[in-house]
Amino acid sequence: MANEKDLNKQRFDREAAASLVKELRTTFASGKTKSYEWRVAQLKGIARMVYEKENELVEVLHKDLSKPETESHVTEISMVKTACKHALKDLKKWMKPEKVNGSILTFPSSSEIVSEPLGVTLVIAPWNYPFLLAIDPVIGAIAAGNCVVLKPSEISPATSSFFMEFLKEYVDRSAIRVVEGAVDETSALLEQKWDKIFYTGNGKVGRIIMAAAAKHLTPVVLELGGKSPLVVDANINLQVAARRIVAGKWGSNNGQTCVSPDYIITTKTFAATLIDALKNTLEQFFGKDPLQSKDMSRIVNSNHFARLTRLLDEDNVSSKIIHGGERDEKRLYISPTILLDAPEDSQIMNEEIFGPLLPIVTVDKVEDSFDVINSRSKPLAAYIFTNDKRLEGEFVRTVSAGGILINDTIIHLANANLPFGGVGESGTGSYHGKFSFEAFSHKKAVLHRGFGGDAPMRYPPYTPAKQRLL
Ligand code: NAD
């Protein structure tokens, strides 16, 4: 009987990874993925899968994260439908070579930028939006004419199996494949030479990905995370602000979102008013006992549950809880929890929280928040709620972040005309809409000349007569 190691080997090891990449290289070399028609057929296939398997998708997302059905539709399924529609509508435009001006030295000639696919690409996905964050980069890879291997997260196994079972029914299997697995399988994939690696997840693994890619000089997109700050000024519509903050923190995968507000900064004088508004909104949204609410996702697994409770139980932190803190370990729920002025050197103030805990930091003047933010690593998102245009302008100018959103949370990523990605430790590269196409394309410089207009002055011998013309 085969032992577990053999079974793993049969599943997916280095040889299997090498042979998969070889197969996809043969497909890419055939040129078929480059045609507009092939790309459209694949994108339509993915769109068809989403429409036909919508119920299955809701079910797997519920299995993996207890995601409420409406949330699954709004934050995953409809986003993927939109991404397919957008790519199908604009693909011709994206693929068209872009004419650019020449220079005096290249006269007479014409110049253009031709977008060409990179080749055989790898997408490694996380568990928190296990459908959207896996298939969205794949849409970009296909739109740009590449072969692609998708490695979904093992931490969201139901969605991972969904991809394994269904994707092949809708797309060309000779160019688009799924590999399931965890560290071993991903490591086997990472040993291969890829033409692009697109990774979404935490920065620790991001470093492993970048090191593996460096061996082959493979370019990477790293979609990472970090501590996204949210500044609250006193002069705001508090009711609307509280709704948007609570929705962005607890109503979106219960804080398990890369752009989730990680901590709030507000003034000492406004903190109590803000906390009251947040508490009232939490009760309106999730009732008196939020642990029983059906409108909140659970913590993904017991490891993450333990990680979050450790953050709360640290010395000098538990006494800072001013709301929530209740836990249901069996069902993997932690109630929405607010902390006030947790110690600066505590873990909760230094690690990405990625869960339903929200520390509030108080400062004397709202402008002091800029220094708090800029003294840390550059975040994936930075938010400010204010009616003060001067403060808003200063925030945009002073704060470096992957993206900035004023007077709301999270929704900037739903505008596909904006690039989505990090800066510094929150990531490198970006995607969404045309930026996805570009992430998976090489912009090839092409200059066309005829045989006319051949200026003798550029050729030796460089006689004094020629030099006088300079
Ligand atoms: P995860 O644990 O699912 O890991 C992501 C992927 O990395 C998985 O496919 C996993 O198999 C693989 N992986 C894990 N360990 C590995 C290793 N040692 N070697 C090779 N591959 C390995 O997800 P996660 O990292 O817990 O995701 C949460 C993090 O991702 C947070 O930091 C969050 O902010 C970030 N995130 C960023 C974005 C974004 O778009 N920027 C989106 C979602 C999540």
Helix 78-95 / helix 36-52 crossing angle, nearest 10 deg = 170
Model pLDDT, residue 11: 75
pLDDT tens sequence across 247-276: 999 999 999 999 999 999 999 999 999 999
Helix extents (H) in 318-470: 368-374, 389-398, 434-439, 464-468
Q: Say yes or no to pLDDT of 46 above 70.
A: yes
- Ligand 1 mutation pick, 11, 76, 186, max ligand atoms within 8 A of CB: 186
pLDDT tens sequence across 6-19: 444 467 999 999 99
Percentage of the chain beyond pLDDT 70 is 98
Model pLDDT, residue 10: 62
Residue nearest to atom 2 of ligand 1 (CA): 126
Beta partners for 363?
A: 267
pLDDT band at 174 (very low <50, low <70, confident <90, very high): very high
CA-to-CA distance for 218 and 220, rounded, in angstroms?
6
- Ligand 1 mutation pick, 75, 200, 304, 432, max ligand atoms within 8 A of CB: 200
Atom of ligand 1 nearest to the CA of 402: 41
Query: How far, CA to CA in Å, does 322 sit from each of 22, 78, 272, 317?
Result: 57, 36, 11, 11
Q: Say yes or no to pLDDT of 308 above 80.
A: yes
Classify burial at 222, counting beta carbons within 10 Å of its beta carbon; exposed 0-12, middle 13-18, buried 19 or more.
buried
Model pLDDT, residue 453: 87
Residue nearest to atom 19 of ligand 1 (CA): 183
CA-to-CA distance for 453 and 107, rounded, in angstroms?
8
How far, in Å, is the centroid of ligand 1 from the Cα of 95? 31
Q: Say yes or no to pLDDT of 394 above 50.
A: yes
Residue with tokens 């990625």: 354
Beta partners for 362?
A: 266
- Ligand 1 mutation pick, 178, 202, 204, max ligand atoms within 8 A of CB: 202
4 assigned to active site: no
User: Does residue 122 come out as left (phi exceeding 0), alpha (psi in the -120 to 50 range) or beta?
Assistant: beta
Question: Is the backbone peptide bond immediately before 343 cis, with ω within 30 degrees of 0?
Answer: no
Beta strands in 254-363 (DSSP E): 261-267, 321-323, 327-328, 333-334, 337-340, 357-363
Residue nearest to atom 11 of ligand 1 (CA): 182
Among 268, 277, 205, which Cα is nearest to 240's?
Answer: 277
Any residues with Cβ below 6 Å from ligand 1, and which?
124-128, 133, 151, 153-155, 182-183, 186-187, 200-202, 205, 208, 223-225, 258, 352, 354, 380, 422, 427
How far, in Å, is the centroid of ligand 1 from the Cα of 408? 26
Atom of ligand 1 nearest to the CA of 208: 19
pLDDT band at 455 (very low <50, low <70, confident <90, very high): confident
- Mean pLDDT, residues 358-373: 97
Three-state DSSP state, 124: strand
- Residue 251 structure tokens: 């109503």
Among 444, 464, 466, which Cα is nearest to 455's?
Answer: 466
- Residue 53 structure tokens: 């398997």
Secondary structure element (H or E) that encloses residue 273, with its range: helix 271-286
- Residue 268 structure tokens: 């000492």
Residue nearest to atom 43 of ligand 1 (CA): 258
Question: Which residues 6+ apart lie within 8 Å of 355 measured at CB?
Answer: 254, 255, 256, 299, 304, 307, 308, 334
Model pLDDT, residue 466: 86
Model pLDDT, residue 456: 87
How far, in Å, is the centroid of ligand 1 from the Cα of 205? 7
pLDDT tens sequence across 187-246: 999 999 999 999 999 999 999 999 999 999 999 999 999 999 999 999 999 999 999 999
84 assigned to active site: no
User: Does residue 348 come out as left (phi exceeding 0), alpha (psi in the -120 to 50 range) or beta?
Assistant: alpha
Model pLDDT, residue 469: 80
Model pLDDT, residue 8: 46
How far, in Å, is the centroid of ligand 1 from the Cα of 422? 14
Average pLDDT, the chain: 96
Contact 381, 406 (CB under 8 A): no
Contact 241, 233 (CB under 8 A): no
Among 241, 255, 235, 200, which Cα is nearest to 405's?
Answer: 241
Among 461, 75, 39, which Cα is nearest to 251's?
Answer: 75
Residue nearest to atom 42 of ligand 1 (CA): 258
- Mean pLDDT, residues 97-120: 96
ipTM above 0.90? Answer: yes
Among 245, 229, 250, 256, which Cα is nearest to 335's?
Answer: 250
CA-to-CA distance for 9 and 7, rounded, in angstroms?
5
Catalytic residue among 223, 352, 425, 438: 223
Model pLDDT, residue 7: 47
The alpha-carbon radius of gyration of the chain (Å, integer) is 25
Catalytic residue among 76, 84, 185, 258: 258
How far, in Å, is the centroid of ligand 1 from the Cα of 280? 34
Residue nearest to atom 32 of ligand 1 (CA): 202
Among 232, 255, 244, which Cα is nearest to 412's?
Answer: 244
Contact 34, 147 (CB under 8 A): no
Single-letter residue type at 103: S
CA quadruple 270, 273, 278, 284: dihedral, nearest 10: -160
Model pLDDT, residue 1: 40
Q: Say yes or no to pLDDT of 470 above 80.
A: no
Residue nearest to atom 14 of ligand 1 (CA): 183
Helix extents (H) in 111-254: 132-143, 157-170, 183-190, 203-214, 238-249
Beta partners for 198?
A: 123, 221
pLDDT tens sequence across 18-30: 999 999 999 999 9
How far, in Å, is the centroid of ligand 1 from the Cα of 207? 11
